[in-house]
């Protein structure tokens, strides 16, 4: 792997940010411009669609798609982002697995705070099941806030009596709204994107809207019961303050008897997978994620939905 690549990515992420308070609209614009620089692979096609009652982006291989669906949740701190900002990751997962993906345009805070995003994600999953898709042919995947949604959507789906999906893939998931992980301190200054103060004073209040940050649906790494969960792949980098969100989630999964892979890559930042095509570690991590998905998603044709 290339040290020079890692240095360039770190420098890119450390570029000066606007001074003073930043509006939500400005944050969204800046996030969108940053993610628009990421490389989207060839060999895929995208179509705007709806899933449940929300817009979504359908991403499919150009040729010979395999039966199997990735329900993807984009990152952006529950405040920013869209299916388009995550297209580098959804595109590479689709290209590498041959599965199709539905990338959900869930509602964002502060206009729609917790639990709106979770409600939308469960609605999307229910829509896939109602269309005749077998849960064993569906996987959840997501990055950052979307990585958290892979977990909390499973919690909510289980509580609603829905069958679990085949697998979870979470890239740098944000799983502790209290900011209590040791990596918040040990990675301070090493992380080129986040600080404890930034997350606690900006993102968390907008999403939580004064609700309890310790509850399982907000901080599953602290208190969620993962009994009955599908196999999980948690990927994170050593250069991120959210590292311990993944390590503690992996420990909770093991305690609950859940099959889990904790995949930590050295000297890379938060959601480094989005730098596929630029950073060797990103390409390798996405290859491992694709392998995990193909090992766990059962490639079956959707069942026919009875006429009503």
pLDDT digits (tens, 9 = 90+) for 90-122: 999 999 999 999 999 999 999 999 999 999 999
- In this predicted model, which residue has the larger pLDDT, 300 or 254? 254
Which pLDDT does position 305 carry in this prediction?
A: 47
* 103-128 b/e (C-beta count within 10 Å ≥ 16 → b): bbbbebbeebbbbbbbbbbbbbbebb
What is the pTM for the complete model shown? 0.95
Q: What percent of the chain has pLDDT over 90?
A: 87
Query: How far is it, in rounded angstroms, from Cα 76 to Cα 197?
Result: 17
Cα gap 152→171, rounded to integer Å:
14
Q: Residue written as tokens 């895929």?
A: 44
Residue 168: in which H helix or E strand, if any?
strand 167-171
Confidence (pLDDT) at 156: 98
According to DSSP, the residues that pair with 167 across neighbouring strands are 139
Q: Note the pLDDT of residue 113.
A: 97
Residue 301: pLDDT band with limits 50, 70, 90: low
Which pLDDT belongs to residue 203?
Answer: 82
Alpha helices, H only, the chain = 3-13, 24-35, 87-97, 116-130, 145-159, 183-186, 196-198, 204-208, 220-223, 243-255, 280-296
Strand-strand pairing, 69-73 and 138-143: parallel
Average pLDDT over the chain, rounded to an integer: 94
DSSP state of 276: T
Residues 33-47 have pLDDT tens digits of: 999 999 999 999 999
Catalytic (active-site) positions:
144, 240, 270
Supply 57's token pair. Answer: 């982006």
Average pLDDT over residues 153-167: 98
Q: What is the pLDDT of residues 39-84, one digit of tens each?
A: 999 999 999 999 999 999 999 999 889 999 999 999 999 999 999 9
**Residue-wise pLDDT tens digits, 197-245:** 888 888 888 999 989 999 999 999 999 999 999 999 999 999 999 999 9
Sign of CA dihedral 20, 24, 27, 33: negative
């Amino acid at each position: 792997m290339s040290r020079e690549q890692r240095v360039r990515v770190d420098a890119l992420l450390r570029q000066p940010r606007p001074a003073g308070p930043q509006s939500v609209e400005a944050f969204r614009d800046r996030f969108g411009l940053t993610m628009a620089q990421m490389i989207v692979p060839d060999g895929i096609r995208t179509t705007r669609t709806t899933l449940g009652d929300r817009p979504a982006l359908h991403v499919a291989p150009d040729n010979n798609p395999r039966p199997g669906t990735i329900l993807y949740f984009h990152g952006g701190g529950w405040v920013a982002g869209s299916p388009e900002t995550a297209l580098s990751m959804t595109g590479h997962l689709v290209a590498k697995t041959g599965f199709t993906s539905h990338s959900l345009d869930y509602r964002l805070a502060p206009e729609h705070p917790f639990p709106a995003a979770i409600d939308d994600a469960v609605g999307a999953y229910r829509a896939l099941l109602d269309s005749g898709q077998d849960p064993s042919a569906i996987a959840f995947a997501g990055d950052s806030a979307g990585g958290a949604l892979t977990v909390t959507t499973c919690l909510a789906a289980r509580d609603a009596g829905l069958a679990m999906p085949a697998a979870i893939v979470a890239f740098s998931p944000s799983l502790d709204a209290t900011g209590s992980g040791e990596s918040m301190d040990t990675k301070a200054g090493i992380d080129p994107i986040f600080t404890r103060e930034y997350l606690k004073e900006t993102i968390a209040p907008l999403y939580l809207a004064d609700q309890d940050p310790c509850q399982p649906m907000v901080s599953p790494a602290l208190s969620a019961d993962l009994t009955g969960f599908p196999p999980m792949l948690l990927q994170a980098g050593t250069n991120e303050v959210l590292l311990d969100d993944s390590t503690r989630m992996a420990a909770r999964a093991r305690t609950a008897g859940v099959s889990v892979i904790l995949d930590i890559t050295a000297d890379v930042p938060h959601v480094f997978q989005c730098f596929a095509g630029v950073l060797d570690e990103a390409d390798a991590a996405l290859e491992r994620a694709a392998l995990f998905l193909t090992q766990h998603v059962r490639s079956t044709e959707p069942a026919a939905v009875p006429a009503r």
